[in-house]
Amino acid sequence: MVRNSDDIKDLTKASFSFIPSLRCNLECPFCMYAGSPDNNLTLDYDKTAKFIKTVDWEKVVGWGLYGGEPSIDTDLYQRFFELIPEKMSKFVITNGAWSTDIQKHVDFLQWCGGKFHVIISGTPDQSISK
């Protein structure tokens, strides 16, 4: 998330995105990350925490998480969010296929804090299975 138009023009600033997990509730044949319900590969939390301590936050305009699918493991994703300064703009990238349960939708959207991106990709010829 960009804070203001000056941040867009300032090429010395960057946005970070991390993939805490490749576990996903879908098995999209076009997924470039090999995300699936069976992929339990996760980002090393301790190494990430060590790296994040080296970041010059004055040069960062936003920080995001995606995967896999953040909505199926919010506890894991929350741990990574807690590494980031509170005032930093944060976002989640999601496939939008969270649940058929309305309350789970509401809970996830509240967890995102109103900042999330729904990614819809593929073509009509590409199928998605749950």
pLDDT digits (tens, 9 = 90+) for 74-119: 889 889 989 999 888 888 888 877 666 778 777 777 777 766 666 6
71 and 108 in contact (C-beta within 8 Å)? yes
The pLDDT of residue 27 is above 90: no
Identify the pLDDT of residue 104.
Answer: 74
- Encode burial over 34-58: b for 16+ CB neighbours within 10 A, e otherwise: ebbeebeebbeeeeeeeebeebeee
pLDDT digits (tens, 9 = 90+) for 36-65: 999 999 999 999 999 999 999 999 998 888
Identify the pLDDT of residue 71.
Answer: 84
